[in-house]
Amino acid sequence: MRIHLFIACYNDTLFPRTGMAVVNLLERLGHEVVFPTSQTCCGQMHYNTGYHAEALPIVRKLLHEFLDAETIVVPSASCVAMMRDHYELMAHNANDLHMMGDVKSFLPRVFEFSELITDKLGLTDVGAYFPHRVTYHPSCHSLRLLNVGDRPVRLLQGVEGLQYTPMEGSDQCCGFGGTFAVKNAEVSSAMLADKIGCVKKSNAEFVAALDNSCLMQIDGGLHRELGSRDRIRPVHLAEILNSTRKNPLTAESLAWEGATA
Amino acid sequence: MTVRVGHTAEKPAFPILAHELLQDDQTRRNVRHATNVIRNKRALRVEEMPDWQDLRTAAHAIKTHTLLHLPHYLEEFERNCIRAGGQVHWARDADEANTIAIRLIRKAAARLAVEHPEVIKVKTMTSDEIGMNRALEREGITPWETDLADMIVQMGKDEPSHIVVPALHKNRHQVRELFLQNMGLTELGTEAEDLTGAARHYLRKKFLEVGIGISGANFAIAETGSVCVVESEGNGRMCVTMPKTLITLIGIEKVIPKFDDLEVFLQLLPRSATGERMNPYNSIWTGVTPGDGPEQFHVILLDNGRTRMMANVRERETLNCIRCGACLNQCPVYRETGGHAYGSIYSGPIGAILSPQLNGMKYSRSLPYASSLCGACYEVCPVKINIPETLIHLRGKIVEQDQNTLAGKLSQESMGMKMAAHLFEHPKQYEAAQRLARTGQGLFEKDGQLVNLPGMAAGWTQYRDLRALPKQSFREWWKRNRTNRGDGSNWSGNE
């Protein structure tokens, strides 16, 4: 299958490892990955902060870039939620029938990463190997807006050697919330403190999610509290699924230097 | 018009109030405990309902239909209320409503031949919305709150922190102290029974002595002209049956078309609000009945900014609210700060969308940003108000307003957002910016982490660390490792 990748601007800049994992995994599964290099952002930051006029051309650009793509994977649940929840509304508000047509054709072709693997590719076991205790943080947008349900947990449970340790209060927001994290930084970090308590209680070595933005928040809080000492490592689900006996993902390889692989 | 929502005009922004409340460990513990208890009870009572989602859909449909035909149903309610012996008054704003109430109270006091008028009040957040107690006191009228929690708030010269449980921020020990100070008691236990016993004794006298009552309403039924109040204590029942004169203040959005519609709402409301299958007291009354209950019954129908919300479908939906408070108990932001951080009697997610809209986006402008958009509120809302979507809509309105002022245009946020939008539209410049950020971050980098970032990002690094940008972006990796395949890019935009 020919699969187009929309990486998301923050993954591109801050979490290239996730994109590399998606590419390597899909290629290992026998698919061809296409990355339109002019892509940038889905418009979520602008839209959710209230800059609706500014978001519009960003969205139009993205729609144009993926006109010919048959299948699109996005390793960021909140970007997919932005697309599904707001693109039609934006086209409607802009009174742009052409854009509305593009959106209607675009949306059925878009898959969040775990949706792609389970629904489109029909897999729960991708031949991954990751002999660690892993807990899962259902990001709000994957949980409530995309309703991914137990897809990510089924994928984790399909990984050889992986011990899934459920998280208490898993449905609680980590406090990230985009610009909320800086506009209401203090409340955001109070919410984070609660989440970190739950993460620690799970007794996991790794905390996985479908959104690196939430993981950045959790990582930022954990690092502030514990420094770079031995601690729970946040990791995108794609990176765990890309880990094999031959090329295992280790705590050491999660350091940034690993990004230049 | 003088639309007013409590004292929102005088209140600082949410982050400032939240800062104070986050230091208040006692209040935070109380809020956490109380919201946990109600949340768990609600979850239990919702889980046992096989048709819960259908009920939500039905409630949303009834509310949508009613709001689309609001003038029709309000007039039907008025006709039927008058036919049953009630009197109906229309108030455009807070001042009008208070003036009407004061006039009615004066007349009733004259009939009762009391020199210093007193009123007993129950279940009327709407009266807090219009600042009724202050207005009455200015006119020499003494209001007595008789809902237990409202009474606690009034005694403490406090403000409500929750829509359903106004004194949720107080624990039993704090309530005991208040009662000791205000009821002239020397001894009092801390058990719930002790406290409610003292309150009963104290309030019973008021119910027997005060001849004028003021209530709110959960529902006004157009078909019959009836008014419905649901509650747990029975103090509401006392308040709406014992006085000679009863004045009921109703926001115009509280009208429902038919008596049968209660079937839907009386299932949704108690389970959502307090986790009860049914409210212990459901009072429904219609006009006046000689020899039974109040001899004079007045309804004040209040607009106070509601009509203005009708024009836009996204804004109108906020008026679906039946004030159950489920969104507050579920909200991770509310649970950290409690209700006082919102600076409005309507707090939590619903307060964050209702207060600024009632105020015509003049006050409470920080509230639409007091949310991580996690969506927990929408999930539990019994009348399916899409609160996150409304928050985003209101943020859009605020940005639009701000863009009309020079200060707004030149704000750090506005400039930053426009710069980012420009980069996102121009991939080459975006890539250059990525490289620039990687070079520039050296100024703030310490052991692979970014610290003390400037501007808005300072909000991040004040409380959290941030890993430095990696040595290459994904797109750089792709170009180095995969470009021989072509990138499938068809973007021919303006570079």
Rounded Cα–Cα distance for residues B249 and B101 (Å): 9
Alpha carbons B77 and B71: distance in angstroms, whole number: 10
| The pLDDT of residue A257 is above 50 | no
**Mutation target among B337, B464, B469, B495 for the A interface, most CBs of A within 10 A:** B464
Provide the token pair at B161.
């922190």
Element of type H or E holding B279 = none
Distance CA B134, CA B245 (A): 21
Select the residue from B28, B374, B447 to test the A interface by mutation, using most A Cβ atoms within 10 A: B374
Name the helix (H) or strand (E) containing B70: helix B70-83
- Most B CBs within 10 Å: which of A15, A186, A216, A229, as the mutation test of the B interface? A186
The mean pLDDT of chain B is 95
Residue of A nearest to B412 (CA): A183
Instruction: Determine the distance in angstroms separating the CA of A258 from the nearest CA of chain B, rounded to an integer.
Output: 9
Q: What is the dihedral of CA A53, B418, B396, A85, to 10 degrees?
A: 70
- Position B83 pLDDT exceeds 70: yes
Task: Say what the alpha-carbon torsion angle B262, B266, B272, B275 is, to the nearest 10 degrees.
Answer: 180
pLDDT (0 to 100) of residue B488: 52
Give the pLDDT score at A260: 33
Contact A57 B471 (CB under 8 A): no
How far apart CA B57 and CA B494 sit, in angstroms, is 46
pLDDT at A229 exceeding the cut of 80: no
pLDDT at position B495 is: 44
Bridge partners (DSSP) of residue B220 are B227, B255
| A259 interfacial to chain B (CB closer than 8 Å) | yes
The pairing of strands B226-231 and B281-286 is antiparallel
Q: Using an 8 Å CB-CB cutoff, list chain B residues near A196.
A: none
pLDDT at residue A226, as a whole number = 87
**Two tokens at A90?**
């934006």
- Report, as an integer, the average pLDDT of B28-44: 97
Answer whether A170 touches B (CB < 8 Å): no
Cβ neighbours of A69 in B, within 8 Å:
488
Q: Report phi then psi at B354, rounded to 5.
A: -75, -50
Nearest CA in chain B to A2: B488
Q: What percent of chain B is predicted at pLDDT more than 90?
A: 94
Token pair in block for residue B402? 């701000």
What is the Cα–Cα distance from A21 to A228, expressed in whole angstroms?
Answer: 24
Query: What's the pLDDT at B448?
Result: 87
Q: Which of B421, B434, B478 sits opposite A54 (nearest CB)?
A: B421
A255, pLDDT greater than 70: no
Binning pLDDT at 50, 70 and 90, where does residue B119 land? very high
Report yes or no on whether pTM surpasses 0.90.
Answer: yes
Q: Indicate if the pLDDT at residue A251 is higher than 80.
A: no
Q: CB distance A176–B372 less than 8 Å?
A: yes
- The predicted pLDDT at position A258 comes to 34
Answer yes or no: are the C-beta atoms of A88 and A21 closer than 8 Å: no
Partner B contacted by A144 (CB < 8 A):
yes
Tell me the C-alpha distance between B28 and B166, whole Å.
15
Q: What is the pLDDT of residue B191?
A: 94
Residue B246 has pLDDT above 80, yes or no: yes
The residue in chain B having the minimum alpha-carbon distance to the alpha carbon of residue A9 is B424
Closest Cα in chain A to B489:
A36
- Asked if the Cβ–Cβ distance from B472 to A260 is below 8 Å, we say yes
User: For A107-163, how does the pLDDT look when each residue is reduced to its tens digit (9 = 90+)?
Assistant: 999 999 999 999 999 999 999 999 999 999 999 999 999 999 999 999 999 999 999
Note whether A223 contacts B465, CB cutoff 8 Å.
yes
Strands (E), B245-382: 245-251, 255-256, 281-286, 296-302
In Å, what is the CA distance from B45 to each residue of B34, B41, B49, B268, B482? 17, 6, 7, 10, 55
Look over chain A and give the mean of its residue pLDDT values, rounded to a whole number.
Answer: 95
Mean pLDDT of A2-16: 97
B338 min Cα distance to partner chain A (Å): 11
Relative to beta strand B449-450, strand B466-467 is antiparallel
Asked if A164 and A134 count as a contact pair (C-beta separation under 8 A), the reply is yes
CB contact under 8 A, A186 and B463: yes
Q: Give residue A259's pLDDT.
A: 35
Contact B491 A223 (CB under 8 A): no
Lowest mean pLDDT among A221-235, B26-40, B427-441: A221-235
Q: List C-alpha distances in Å: B406 to A55, B302, B409.
A: 21, 37, 5
Reported confidence tier of residue B484, pLDDT bands at 50, 70, 90: low
pLDDT above 80 (res B380): yes
**Nearest CB partner across the interface for A219, out of B336, B378, B467:** B467
| pLDDT value of position B489 | 52
User: A261 falls in which pLDDT band (50, 70, 90)?
Assistant: very low
Q: State the SS3 of chain A.
A: CEEEECCCHHHHHHCHHHHHHHHHHHHHCCCEEECCCCCCCCCHHHHHHCCHHHHHHHHHHHHHHCCCCCEEEECCHHHHHHHHHHHHHHHHHCCCHHHHHHHHHHHHHEEEHHHHHHHHCCCCCCCCECCCEEEECCCHHHHHHCCCCCHHHHHHHCCECCEECCCCCCCCCCCCCCCHHHHCHHHHHHHHHHHHHHHHHCCCCEEEECCHHHHHHHHHHHHHHHCCCCCCEEEEHHHHHCCCCCCCCCCHHHCHHHHHC
Rounded CA separation B363/B343 (Å): 10
Return the closest-CA partner of residue A48 out of A182, A155, A138, A164: A182
Question: What are the residues whose beta carbons fall under 8 Å from the beta carbon of B284, sequence distance 6 or more?
Answer: B221, B226, B227, B228, B262
Q: CB distance from A194 to chain B under 8 Å?
A: yes
Q: Using a CB-CB distance cutoff of 8 angstroms, which residues of chain B are in contact with residue A65?
A: 489-491
Task: Give the H or E element holding residue B91.
Answer: strand B87-91
Query: What pLDDT, on the 0 to 100 scale, is given for residue A252?
Result: 76
DSSP state for residue B300 in the 8-state scheme: E
> In whole angstroms, how large is the CA radius of gyration of chain A?
18
- For the segment A29-79, what is each residue's pLDDT rounded down to a tens digit? 999 999 999 999 999 999 999 999 999 999 999 999 999 999 999 999 999
For residue B466, how many C-alpha atoms fall within 13 Å in the half-sphere facing its CB? 22
Using an 8 Å Cβ cutoff, are A75 and A118 in contact?
no
Q: What's the gap in Å between the CA of A62 and the closest CA on chain B?
A: 9
DSSP letter string over B169-189? T--HHHHHHHHHHHTT-S---
pLDDT above 80 for B381: yes
Q: Enter the tokens of residue B91.
A: 């108030």
End-to-end CA distance of chain A: 25
Judged by CB atoms closer than 8 Å, whether chains meet at A50 and B392 is answered as yes
Pairing relation of β-strands A32-34 and A2-5?
Answer: parallel
Mean pLDDT of B367-385: 98
Give which of B225, B216, B323, B220 is closest to B262, Cα–Cα.
Answer: B220
Nearest to A61 by CA among B419, B425, B422: B425
Closest CA to B77 of B218, B219, B225: B225
The structure tokens 């701000």 sit at: B402
Identify the pLDDT of residue A253.
75
In angstroms, rounded to a whole number, what is the distance separating the alpha carbons of residues B395 and B373? Answer: 12
pLDDT at residue B173, rounded to an integer: 95
A260 touches chain B (CB under 8 A): yes
* DSSP element (H, E) containing B365: none
Closest alpha carbon to B265 in B230, B234, B302, B300: B230
Question: Nearest 5°: phi and psi at A111?
Answer: -130, 130
Residues 87-106 of A with CB under 8 A from B: none
**Cβ separation of A57 and B376 shorter than 8 Å?**
no
In this predicted model, what pLDDT tens digit does every residue of A169-196 receive, in sequence order? 999 999 999 999 999 999 999 999 999 9
Contact A34 B487 (CB under 8 A): yes
* Whole-number pLDDT of residue B1: 74
Would you call A65 an interface residue with chain B, using a CB distance cutoff of 8 Å?
yes
* Rounded-to-integer distance, Cα A148 and Cα B390, Å: 23
Round to whole Å and give the CA distance between B328 and B347: 7
Distance of CA B392 to the CA centre of its chain: 17
